[in-house]
Structure 1
């Protein structure tokens, strides 16, 4: 894993770092540790003080490490926490990311078990993609993994790659970071991409590890044996955990209607008798119930234009009203009016005016076509978007004249 990082990183040195002895140690291996048919003595690796091992599983859409299954089984039998990584080969179209993720998941099998770290994406080459496309490619890969497994994938990279090749994007700061930097310090130093902490530090690419022929990548885990055990708990289900921890959700959502499954756009969802819960790395676990949940599903759920929910349902400033925020718009509900979607430039204008606290009041319609644009109706007026100008116009309701005496 470290070969490319060592070649490209301007900060890499041959000197081994000295991380805290309290941090659990581990190794990552690939076919490079099996030169001339050599095998790894995983019991010796364990006896040398290592607590975890991450094994290369796949690369691109076809390659499978021929030693993957044996190394994973050997490390697990020796009592090590195990993990698996995929070496990314970014390419256009972006859908190749999903193809690679599926190849990876088909190879590693079930990861929802004790003693298993989340799947890892090893990102250290661009495949010629520019930062925007590379960001989209990486998101597509990670979303597919989290949708299929319910786990938060780990992202491996190094500083110069992140700052130079993917424009130091902060888009992945919610994903655990496996950071490669080989220095003589007691910590990795500053982190790129908006990350505030690291999960694993690959601090040496040429370590001597008992049981592994030749050189090996050595790592530290942040920051205790308890943290390692928690990260390796593949049985944790974020949706089920929240539902179990909050009894009020049992009232608002009702009982589970069927099993949890993958959701569009990256994430998982669980239907209940009166609503749903949605989880993704970027949004966390969100609860929707009643007419707002019904409206969301009618719009296609996370596969539709609203995409993923960003917040739980909350009260509006209008008495008895409720609202929910999504990536692609908002849903408002009032018992006297019903549930309606507001989105796009009309939503931006509505929120700028004060939303449900504005002179417009609550929505009374979904957006609909009008000549030259789109329009949404509210209690006290309308907002009309004109395609030719991309402007939104406020329209006050015309008062009804009193009948002549």
Structure 2
């Protein structure tokens, strides 16, 4: 079974791109979409990228990065320390993310494991709030919602969020696709008021329709390859707003 976050996210991207193609017929974007010109660029990485050249990333325009820390309650990215500390040393605003496997253990248990293994936060303006990556099941194509009902999935996400808030003081940024969210939470709007959205939509000139409740995205993962290592992302605001968001104001 693959324990690197990259293969599982690749699965999500294939599905997301297929959904987008139904309405957009778009092609992969090598650089940031023209409609988002001027927004801070960033990326996200996992063990797949190994020891990243952070100075090179900064020189290519990266201003922030999300780094995979954990998955379920039995995996920690072996390159996390180099990636998390190295990106900060290079001057990037960085944060950690957890890949959820809701069929393996409770949301509270996975949040606690995440915090113990890198999913922390400080209001220093250089640390993004921890993120919850919840999407297509990479290990069982027949159970993309991990065998949970829509109500139980909403409950799982709430338990994760509550525990993370209790331990770090921040609610998680939620990474997902609109298609998965609608299918697996029933289009729940319960999180939009106090959770920043990190939307995944590739091969499109814009982020497209958002999950229920959210009127704007905070981060947009618009491609799985480009000038920066890993996935390509944008922040929906100015560089100063990015720092403010990191501080939690």
Flag whether TM exceeds 0.5 (same fold): yes
TM-score (norm. length: structure 2): 0.84
3-state SS of paired residue (2:132): strand
Could you tell me which residue of structure 2 aligns to residue 97 of structure 1? 107
Structure with higher strand content: 1
Which consecutive residues of structure 1, in runs of 5 or more, have no partner in the other structure? 237-405
Could you tell me which residue of structure 1 aligns to residue 38 of structure 2? 22
CA distance in 2, matches of 1:201, 1:47: 21
Partner residue of 2:200 out of 170, 180, 183: 180
Higher relative contact order (CA 8 A, sep 6+): 2
Shift of 1:128: 1.4
Contact 2:60/2:227 (CA < 8 Å) preserved in 1? no
Contact 2:67/2:83 (CA < 8 Å) preserved in 1? yes
3-state SS of paired residue (1:179): strand
CA distance in 1, matches of 2:238, 2:192: 21
Cα distance, 1:109–1:122 mapped onto 2, change above 3 Å:
closer
Contact 1:22/1:223 (CA < 8 Å) preserved in 2? no
Number of residues of Structure 1 aligned to a counterpart in Structure 2: 223
Which consecutive residues of structure 2, in runs of 5 or more, have no partner in the other structure? 1-5, 137-144
Deviations 1:296-330 (A, max 9, x none): xxxxxxxxxxxxxxxxxxxxxxxxxxxxxxxxxxx
TM-score (norm. length: structure 1): 0.53
Matched, 1:11 2:24: no
Contact 1:116/1:233 (CA < 8 Å) preserved in 2? yes
**Cα root mean square deviation, aligned:** 1.7
Matched, 1:33 2:49: yes
Structure with higher helix content: 2
Q: Which has the larger radius of gyration?
A: 1
Contact 2:69/2:119 (CA < 8 Å) preserved in 1? no
Partner residue of 2:247 out of 230, 233, 237: 233
Q: Structure 1 stretches (4+) deviating beyond 3 angstroms?
A: none
Matched, 1:168 2:192: no
Could you tell me which residue of structure 2 aligns to residue 141 of structure 1? 160
Could you tell me which residue of structure 2 aligns to residue 76 of structure 1? 88
3-state SS of paired residue (2:225): strand
Matches within 5 A, 1:3-402: 3-9=10-16, 10-11=19-20, 14-16=27-29, 17-34=33-50, 39-91=51-103, 96-108=106-118, 110-114=120-124, 115-125=126-136, 126-174=145-193, 175-185=195-205, 187-209=206-228, 212=229, 216-233=230-247
